[in-house]
A and B are shown apart, each in its own frame.
Chain A
Amino acid sequence: MPEIKVTPLGAGQDVGRSCILVSIAGKNVMLDCGMHMGYNDDRRFPDFSYITQNGRLTDFLDCVIISHFHLDHCGALPYFSEMVGYDGPIYMTHPTKAICPILLEDYRKITVDKKGETNFFTSQMIKDCMKKVVAVHLHQTVQVDEELEIKAYYAGHVLGAAMFQIKVGCESVVYTGDYNMTPDRHLGAAWIDKCRPDLLITESTYATTIRDSKRCRERDFLKKVHETVERGGKVLIPVFALGRAQELCILLETFWERMNLKAPIYFSTGLTEKANHYYKLFITWTNQKIRKTFVQRNMFEFKHIKAFDRAFADNPGPMVVFATPGMLHAGQSLQIFRKWAGNEKNMVIMPGYCVQGTVGHKILSGQRKLEMEGRQILEVKMQVEYMSFSAHADAKGIMQLIRQAEPRNVLLVHGEAKKMEFLKQKIEQEFHVSCYMPANGETTTIFTNPSIPVDISLGLLKRETAIGLAPDVKKPKLMHGTLIMKDNSFRLVSPEQALKELGLAEHQLRFTCRVHIQDPRKEHETVLRVYNHLKGVLKDYSVQHLPDGSITVESILIQATAHSEDQGTKVLLVSWTYQDEELGSYLTSLLKKGLPPSTA
């Protein structure tokens, strides 16, 4: 029976390090190739040895698909392609291909700088890896090879994020990556057509949450920034170059305009231009409102947000600064933090997750005295706030997507086991489909029931209708013929036509069976008894006694011989063709019961 196999190497009952292997109709696809931000040892990358034990990596995998540019989905890619040695195609959307190397480079710099790691992928490797990437458009069907095709759907979440449909013949899998079913300030909501895949692999980060209104969080954020600025304090917002930063910028820009605020807002040097460039380039990926107003006003060209110069950090008076990197582990954001940390009027707002060991993680965990390089102690008096703006689908959103796509099976990844368990039950109850949640390294096998189209020859169809039954869509009907599988197509033809087409001679196949009968008489007498018996029982059939001593019933042939060791036993050799299979087996069972005593 055809099957789809799914093995998560990462993101199985776990958040981070997404990497899922899918085998579908003989094709092997790797979905995402992420890293775990929480680890800096071997556990950081997925364990690829599982793939390499099946032979050469590039020969085993048909392609790699990356859903979006977050590092937990693409952070291991250069390691995989340049150090482990994968040489095949990698697919991602155009924005992901443009932004992915920026984040990878950022991550490499931190690892080499902060951790002093030397055995790590280099900038050259990131570039070489990106050269292997084939960028795809939304809704474009990409033919990976003759059998395997993929198609991207809009996923919201971050610029360029996509869900992917993977299809081989009539079997298909949809992988959602991370997605968001409600539009935000700059991106739209995820959408997929009713593609009825055999399997939907969905993220489940917020499997049990119905999230509070995003507007509430936005109001809260604006209130905190406003209050700090009003009392003359400075606000530091450490961000990554692209993504959430733009959403928050739009938010502040609109608020500043509405409230007519004068305090300056700055964004790290160089990054505004870069972000602007990408949002302009990929404006079709943003939400409707931004696209509509783009002609009159580019929402990413801000009136109130100016480029930051390092000298500004010492300026007196209130200000808001967006600085990179987002975890306060190095660079400009850390420099500014050091300067401002000592003043209780100031505030730092962390809008995203921080890896253990970074200053960001320490202050979010409540540390107020930080040991910096050179045994210096930095006392943190400024206010520290954490605000989540991550854009994942909540439980309602996940159910909505399942309703939209109508999959035959669902598999949960990218979430915590406890929460997945709850959602799994809910999905099974509501949609009556099987739902799976494999752990890392566990293989889930899903049996599919693909419908395979077969062409029927006209001759065969005519013969069938001549028997009297016209074809009817509503009444399925059994049909006999010879199936020819050639050049990836299936045809049902009459046996005669098949023989002719293939240039083959016909051979007769006969089934045989030996039946032992206790009869001390001579052989020809036994034959006569059998003949009489059959003639009496099978009145509607033509039973003949041939001159050579054998009996025929239609195509069935019966011959009698004496047993070599026991003359009292006669052996009846019965043989028949497959057309008379039913009659043949009836006849043998009849003979096995023995001959009636009265027949003489």
Chain B
Amino acid sequence: MMHHQLALRFLCDDGGIDVIFTLQGDPSLFVASAASQLLVHMLTFSVESETTKPLSTKDGDWPACAQMIIKHIEDSLQSSSSSHIEQSLNLLTSLFGSCCDTWTEVLWLGIAKQIESFWMEETVQAHHMLAKLLLKVAWSPVFCDTESGIWALVTSALEHLTPVQAGPLAVGIVRHYNCPQDVRIQALTVLLQPMDCILRAASQPLEYAGLLDESVSDPATVESLLSSKSSCVNLLCQTLAHLEELLSQMRFSVDLPYTSLLHSLTTILQFCNGFLRPASPLGSTISRNLINCFRVQRSALDVLAALSEKKACDTLLGSLFDVLLAYLESPNTNPTVLKKTFQATSKWLVRLRELSCSNSQWQQTEKILEDVFLVLQKRLCSPCWEVRDSSLEFLTDLIKSLRDQDEFRQSLLSSEVPRLTEDLLEDPESYVRASAVTAVGHLAFITYFAPESPATGNQYNKENTVAKLHEILSTDTEGFPRRAVISIFNKWVREGCIGQLEDTEQFVSRVIQTVKHDLDWEVRLGGLELIEVFSSQTVCRLCVLNCPYTSVSAVTGCIHQNSSLLIFCRAKVFNFLFQSLCDCDQPLGQRACDILLALRCRFYPVKTLKDSQVAEDSYAGHGIAWLQRTLRQGSLAQNILTDGGNRVDFQDPESMLLALGIIDLEELHDELNKSSDHVEKSPQSLLQDILASVGTIEENEADCY
């Protein structure tokens, strides 16, 4: 409605606007928020549609409706009711977040003094709202000038708000591309001060540089917050969350004192597990406050993981891994904390590799890896499925990023980890079995499939592993492990690990036969993906085999076509593809259709198809309905009946070539890509629903759940 002058006038002239003002304070927060949004729309629309010249602070220039709303905002801001003030702050925040026109600056100039008084006189409790509003204004292009008054206001807010209140503002300001340097330093001080206090409380005298120059900040407020348990936990969690937000920003260009930050983080983690009990009074209070605090542990580990991407001091790596290993080893570590420790360890191990490539830190790396695998052995046998699963995920992560590093492979293969991982293929918990499948699948890359591995050529082990995974694919009662197997098989085939073309053909054929009757459609979908990879690889390989140096001529092309078609037929690819086309699970139909379309392009180049009158004729009547009927009549049997009553042999290349040519795959593709909602959303279907449901709904609804 707020696109029409008439609607606006109706609301303003007939008292409707007063109702909306009142609704801002509605007991339902959804109504209140909608009222606020509506006022923003009204204000914006009124100014944009009813003014012709630039606006000034004089009332007379503004359209009537805008005047009413602005007056309401000003009155509310000056009122003694905190809820009225909060409503207006909310409204202003949405306004500055959504509208970047120059008139908003005029509006801001009128209220800025009042806004500042809220923290100067501490009259408003809703500090997070003030922070949000200031951020929206600071980020608005209207105020992009570094000379603009907003920065003075931000500085004043950062000075007067407590560290907890100022945190959200500080983090938004640090990220601001146009923030003046002195304001940025002030904001960074807010964020780093708690971390600096931790460092100073932990060590006397400081071994490493602190995070902040003592002269820039007065730590008294932060120290007093750190002294009480709940405020200490709150302040640290908030600070850590803000730091993680900053560090995870790809385009964050401000350099932080990473070394000291890392030192501070390890100190926090040591406080939390009781490994550090400093003599200083503040230090011992903080250590009492933090011991066993999972919330702080989780947040600190998140920041630690994010910090691995930054260039931090290498000298601290030893102590960092000491702390991480202590967490990995301790039986008191909470499962979520353990998972985060794994994530941080894996990231720092990758970082360690980069460093040991450049420095000669190999011995240190070897020791760390040994320790990691020792603790991993223990964790793989944990009675908690969460822990076993996180351990397997950690192992997979490590293999993915470090599999080409000799030292890593040696350490891993000389440990008990590979054997324990294989044992977990029979874990009672299906999540763990699935993760074990993925880990075993990746382990194979450094054992059986790696050319330089000592285990290479151990054909028995390789076949044994493949057989085990195949067994899981055909017999596991849960979907996750089966899905994991098919996805690992896909990865193997994609990376060309299975062997020669004939081996791959046999492998694919066998897997397809297993998955085509799987009850889980995602496993079947995995089977289709396997066909996709296999078919493109087959075509490529045949091309390279037959004519490595020449372009494909008509004759050689024909030969390739025939051989690849023969291979696909032998591997029983078409049977599965056509069956999937009519699967009642839609994603399968879509994928099968895509693959068939790609195959048809290969066997019937577009030109041939377009020119061919025969193809056009044969399309007629061979759309989706015909196909559905044809395939359904076959009742998923090996062979199906065509219209003519002749049996189609899925393994006969000629029949398949013909089938590819006569089915209207484009139409089928469009049909399948319609969401299944399209049937129920059609007016006819809706009408039927409405007619049929009269009278029956109420009883049905009562028994919802």
Binding site for B on A (CB under 8 A): 7, 15-16, 37, 40, 47, 50, 53-56, 58-59, 70-72, 87-89, 101, 105, 109, 112-116, 123, 127, 130-132, 146, 178, 205-206, 209, 269-270, 273-274, 330-332, 334-335, 352-354, 356-357, 361-362, 364-367, 371, 373-376, 386, 388, 390, 438-443
CB of B220 within 8 Å of the partner chain: no
Contact residues in A for B628 (Cβ distance below 8 Å) = 373-374, 376
> How far, in angstroms, from A357 to B677 measured CA to CA in the complex?
7
Chain B proximity of A278: nearest CB distance (Å): 12
Identify B693's interface contact among A56, A366, A376, A390, CB under 8 A. A366
CA distance A563 to B688 in the complex (A): 95
- Do B295 and A88 touch across chains, with their CB atoms under 8 A apart? yes
A353 and B705 contact, Cβ closer than 8 Å, known pairs A54-B128, A335-B584, A439-B28: yes
State whether the Cβ of B617 lies closer than 8 Å to any Cβ in chain A: no
For the complex with contacts A115-B676, A365-B692, 16 further pairs of A-B residues with Cβ separation under 8 Å are A47-B30, A54-B128, A55-B128, A58-B295, A59-B238, A72-B705, A87-B298, A116-B587, A127-B431, A205-B704, A353-B700, A362-B680, A362-B688, A374-B624, A386-B700, A440-B28
Is B642 interfacial (CB 8 A cutoff)?
Answer: no
Minimal beta-carbon separation of A84 from chain B (angstroms) = 14
Which B residues lie within 8 Å of A71 (CB)? 705
Interface pair B27/A443, CB less than 8 Å apart: yes
Give Cα distance in the complex from A364 to B699, angstroms.
11
Q: Are B477 and A371 in contact (CB under 8 A)?
A: no
A440 lies within 8 A of B705 (CB): no
Closest to A324 in B: B519
Which residues of B426-444 have CB atoms within 8 Å of chain A's CB atoms? 431
Chain A positions within 8 Å of B390 at CB level: 131
Given the interface contacts A88-B295, A109-B521, A131-B335, does A365 sit within 8 Å of B693 by beta carbon? yes
- CB atoms of B29 and A371 under 8 A apart: no
Residues of B contacting A58 with CB < 8 Å?
Answer: 237, 241, 295
CB-based nearest A residue for B338:
A131
Query: Would A15 and B701 count as touching, CB distance under 8 A?
Result: yes
Given A56-B238, A131-B389, A205-B702, CB of A441 within 8 Å of CB of B679: no
Are A331's CB and B519's CB within 8 A? yes
Which bracket fits the contact residues of B? 35 or more
Task: Please name the residue on chain B nearest to A352 by beta carbon.
Answer: B703
Please state if B705 and A16 are interface contacts (CB–CB under 8 Å): yes
A–B complex contacts, Cβ < 8 Å, 14 sampled: A37-B705, A40-B677, A56-B241, A59-B238, A88-B295, A269-B519, A274-B477, A330-B585, A334-B584, A353-B703, A364-B696, A371-B679, A373-B628, A374-B627
A127 to B392, CA, bound (A): 13
**Cα distance A255–B703 in the bound complex, in angstroms:** 25
Q: A59-B238, A364-B696, A440-B30 are in contact. Are A109 and B522 (CB under 8 A)?
A: yes
Given contacts A59-B241, A439-B28, whether A390 and B705 have CB atoms under 8 Å apart is yes
Task: A33 to B584: give the CA distance in the assembly, Å.
Answer: 31
Does B322 touch A at the CB level, under 8 Å?
A: no
A117 nearest CB across to chain B (Å): 9
Asked if A362 and B676 sit within 8 Å, CB to CB, the answer is no
The answer to whether A114 and B676 have CB atoms under 8 Å apart is yes
Known: A7-B29, A375-B625. A367 touches B692 (CB 8 A): yes
Cα(A113)–Cα(B705), bound, Å? 22
- Whether A330 contacts B700 by the Cβ 8 Å rule is no
Contact check, A115 vs B675: say whether CB atoms are below 8 A apart: yes
**Residues of B with C-beta under 8 A to A116:** 586-587, 675-676
Chain B residues numbered 575-632 whose CB sits less than 8 Å from any CB in chain A:
582, 584-587, 589, 624-625, 627-628
Q: Which residues of B contact A15 (CB under 8 A)?
A: 701-702, 704-705
Residues of A with C-beta under 8 A to B389? 127, 131
| Distance from B155 Cβ to chain A, minimum over Cβ atoms (Å) | 22
Counting CB contacts under 8 A, is B122 at the interface?
Answer: no
**What residues on B are CB-neighbors of A352 within 8 Å?**
703, 705
Contact, CB under 8 Å: A374 / B625: yes
Docked CA distance A386–B704 (Å): 12
Cβ of A112: which chain B residues have Cβ within 8 Å of it? 587
CB distance from B463 to the nearest CB of A (A): 28
CB of B394 closer than 8 Å to a CB of A: no
How close is B628's CB to chain A, nearest CB, in angstroms?
4
A386 and B687 CA atoms in complex are apart in Å by: 22
Q: Is B560 an interface residue (CB 8 A)?
A: no
B-side contacts of A56, CB under 8 Å: 238, 241
Q: Are A72 and B679 in contact (CB under 8 A)?
A: no
**The one of B29, B431, B702 that contacts A441, using a Cβ cutoff of 8 Å:** B29
Closest 5 CB pairs of A and B: A366-B692, A365-B692, A441-B30, A365-B693, A388-B703
The answer to whether residues A441 and B31 also contact, given A112-B587, A205-B702, A356-B689 and a CB cut-off of 8 A, is yes
Closest B residue, CB atoms, query A146: B229
* B78 close to chain A: CB less than 8 A: no
Are the C-beta atoms of A113 and B700 separated by less than 8 Å? no
Known: A72-B704, A131-B389. A113 touches B677 (CB 8 A): no
The answer, yes or no, to whether B386 is at the interface (CB within 8 Å) is yes
Contact A270 B477 (CB under 8 A): yes
Assuming the contacts A16-B704, A178-B705, asked whether A131 and B386 have C-beta atoms less than 8 A apart, the reply is yes
Contacts of A16 in B (CB 8 A): 704-705
User: CB-CB < 8 A to A376: which residues of B?
Assistant: 625, 628
Complex interface bits, B223-236 against A, C-beta within 8 A gives 1, otherwise 0: 00000010000100
Chain A nearest Cβ from B52, distance in angstroms: 37
**Contacting residues, chain B, for A364 (C-beta < 8 A):** 696, 700
> Inside 8 A of A115's CB, which chain B residues have their CB?
675-677
Residues of B near A375 (CB, < 8 A) are: 624-625
A424 to B703, CA, bound (A): 21
A109 to B705, CA, bound (A): 19
Q: Does B172 contact A (CB under 8 A)?
A: no
Q: Which residue of A lies closest to B628 (CB)?
A: A374
The answer for the CA separation of A47 and B30 in the assembled complex, in Å, is 9
Using known A-B contacts A127-B389, A132-B336, determine if residue A114 contacts B586 with beta carbons closer than 8 Å.
yes
Is B480 in contact with chain A by the CB < 8 A criterion? yes
Q: Is the CB of A374 within 8 A of B671?
A: yes
In whole angstroms, how far apart are the Cα atoms of A370 and B628 in the complex? 16
Q: Is the CB of A442 within 8 A of B27?
A: yes
Contacts of A127 in B (CB 8 A): 389, 431
Partner of A113, one of B298, B587, B627: B587
Q: Which B627-651 residues sit within 8 Å CB-CB of chain A?
A: 627-628
Q: Is B479 an interface residue (CB 8 A)?
A: yes
Closest beta carbon of chain B to A235's beta carbon, Å: 20
**At the interface, yes or no: B168 with Cβ under 8 Å from chain A?**
yes
Residue in chain B with minimal CB distance to A34? B705
Partner of B696, one of A40, A366, A438: A366
A366 to B, closest residue via Cβ: B692
Chain B residue with the shortest CB-CB distance to A70:
B705
B516 at the interface (CB under 8 A from A): no
- B680 contacts across to A, CB distance below 8 A: 356-357, 362
Chain B residues near A178 (CB-CB < 8 A): 705
> How far, in angstroms, from A72 to B701 measured CA to CA in the complex?
13
**CB-contact partner of B704 in A130, A209, A332, A353, under 8 A:** A353
Q: Is B703's CB under 8 angstroms from A390's CB? A: yes
Please, which residue of chain A has its CB at the minimum distance from the CB of B476?
A270
- Binary interface profile of B, 411-424, with partner A (CB < 8 Å = 1, else 0)? 00000000000000
Q: Which A residues are CB-close (under 8 A) to B335? A: 131
- Nearest residue (CB) in B for A419 is B702
The chain B residue with its CB closest to the CB of A18 is B705
Minimum CB–CB distance from B226 to chain A (whole Å) comes to 16
| Binary contact readout B220-256 vs A (1 if CB under 8 angstroms, 0 otherwise) | 0000000001000010011001000000000000000
